[in-house]
Amino acid sequence: MDTTFLKKLEFEKIINNLSSFCETNVGKNCALSLLPSFSFEEVNYRLNETDQAFFVYRNLDDEPHFFTFYIDMYIKKIESSNYLSCKELLNIAHLLENARLLKNIFFNNVNFDASMLDILDKLFSDLYSNLNIEKEIFSKIIDENTLDDKASSNLYSIRNEKKAIEVKIKDTLSNFIHSSSKYLQEQVITIRNNRYVVPVKEEYKNFVKGFVHDVSSTGSTLFIEPLSIFEINNELSSLEIKEKKEIEKILKNLSSLFLPIINEIKQTSINIGKLDFIFAKVKFALSIHATKPILTKEKNFTLIKARHPLIDSKKIIPIDINIGKSFRTLVITGPNTGGKTVTLKTCGLLLSMAYSGLFIPADEKTTICVFDFIFIDIGDEQSIDASLSTFSAHMTNIVSILKQATENSFILIDELRFWY
């Protein structure tokens, strides 16, 4: 579909505004890729979709929130037997949680009968939730970097051993610091290369038996692991290896929970994004005081108190305009800066919005039909590349429109005086 007319109508500003009401990347992409349809059935479906969401939104006690993400990378990991990180597991758990909460909001609301909202009913019904998996993930993962100590009995045991050894190391080093403070740059315990060390003055390096793990940038301090804690540090390193292996085992087990339900997770992620987009249409409609237009199969439309959505509502003058009943051609005349071009653009933009399933800023009695296309010749279209004059550019555009337009097309032409 040739979308040149949308640029002239500044439709991209509309969908950019719409996308700002989306909470998810999936929803934003739906908004930013939105294009008008010229099928009556499709336009009717889209407007009803928005209308159902509008009804639900106005009857909810709490505003719904949407959480989803691009799941393809996670799915590939699971299918190739790789395990997910804590962060990735939490993301999927939050996705399932969001699906569960959204289903509860929709199906358990006493303010409306969900079965009467066929379009939304299908999307909400297809959301997959699993409270058992949610609990399993949230009980074992503290945050995106940390597993709970009790994620497994083995991990609990290993971490308790680690804590006991760390206490032993610190006690031993505290005694060392107390007895050898004159050799130290500072009386502190630090870590280098995952080993506990103390900062020794360079001139006393031969007085402290142990292994040098690092040197300060000035060379005045050596970070030495005293021999007295060497074996204890080895024990700690061994436990850290065991801990790492146990963490991998737990993450693999948690990741495997999603293997049987991969398709359900994919569809749920998509549906949450779609719902985010649909409810963004509602929020956008409320922000511009828009209403659902009445759709007719007759080739006429009547805009009542229509307003251009990109002009400050305090400054814009609403317009009433109709065409198609008594006449098929309308000529608007008047002085410069009298609003002729804005009127043309308002008609084209509001129809494009409605064809995209968006409510329009006009009186609720506004009636529109679905044309087979919208053609526009508005503004200066001088083509530098083709070395065409402004007049020639308009002529080329008009000829193109005449070749493509049918009796069911909607054509907007500005500045007809060019053709005298």
Encode pLDDT of 152-179 as tens digits: 999 999 999 999 999 999 999 999 888 8
Classified by CATH at the fold level, domain 11-147+258-287 comes out as MutS, DNA mismatch repair protein; Chain A, domain 3 (1.10.1420)
Token readout for 51 is 């209308």
Query: What is the spatial distance between Cα 86 and Cα 88, in angstroms, rounded to a whole number?
Result: 6
Q: What is the pLDDT of residue 307?
A: 95
Distance CA 360, CA 390 (A): 33
With contact defined as beta carbons under 8 Å apart, do 138 and 93 qualify?
Answer: yes
Q: Does domain 290-419 have CATH number 3.40.190.10?
A: no
Distance, in Å, from the CA atom of 228 to the CA atom of 232, rounded to the nearest integer, reads 8
What phi and psi values does residue 184 have, to the nearest 5 degrees?
-95, 145
CA 115 to chain centre: 28
By the 8 A CB rule, do 395 and 310 touch?
A: no
- Rounded Cα distance, 39 and 401, in Å: 20
What local confidence, expressed as pLDDT, does residue 378 receive? 82
> What residue has token string 């963004």?
280
Residues with Cβ within 8 Å of 405's Cβ and at least 6 positions away in sequence, in order, are 373, 375, 411
CA 106: distance to chain centroid?
21
Q: CA 335 to CA 338: how far, in whole Å? A: 5
Please tell me the predicted confidence (pLDDT) of residue 390.
67
Report the pLDDT value the prediction gives residue 340, as an integer from 0 to 100.
85
Q: Which amino acid belongs to residue 365?
A: K
Q: How many CA atoms lie within 13 A of 128 on its CB side?
A: 16
Domain coordinates in residue numbering, the chain:
11-147+258-287, 153-239, 290-419
Residue pair 18/281 in contact (Cβ under 8 Å)? The answer is: yes
SS3 content of the chain, % helix, strand, coil (to 5): 55, 15, 35
Helix, coil or strand: residue 295:
strand
- pTM for this model (two decimals): 0.84
pLDDT in tens, 326-354: 888 888 887 777 678 899 999 999 999 99
Distance of CA 149 to the CA centre of its chain: 33
Nearest partner of 291 among 364, 397, 191, judged by Cα: 364
Note down pLDDT in tens along the chain; length 420 residues: 678 899 999 999 999 999 999 999 999 999 999 999 999 999 999 999 999 999 999 999 888 999 988 888 898 999 888 999 999 999 999 999 999 999 999 999 888 888 899 999 999 999 999 999 999 999 999 999 999 999 999 999 999 999 999 999 999 999 988 888 888 888 999 999 889 999 999 998 888 888 999 999 899 999 999 999 999 999 999 999 999 999 999 999 999 999 999 999 999 999 999 999 999 999 999 999 999 999 999 999 999 999 999 998 888 889 999 998 888 888 888 777 767 889 999 999 999 999 999 999 999 999 999 999 999 988 654 444 444 566 677 777 888 888 888 999 999 988 765 444
Residue 382 is predicted with a pLDDT of 42
pLDDT of 416 reads 63
**Which pLDDT belongs to residue 308?**
94
Q: Of 246, 256, 272, 245, nearest to 77 (Cα)?
A: 256
Token code pair at residue 324:
């198609």
CA–CA separation, 340 and 344 (whole Å): 6
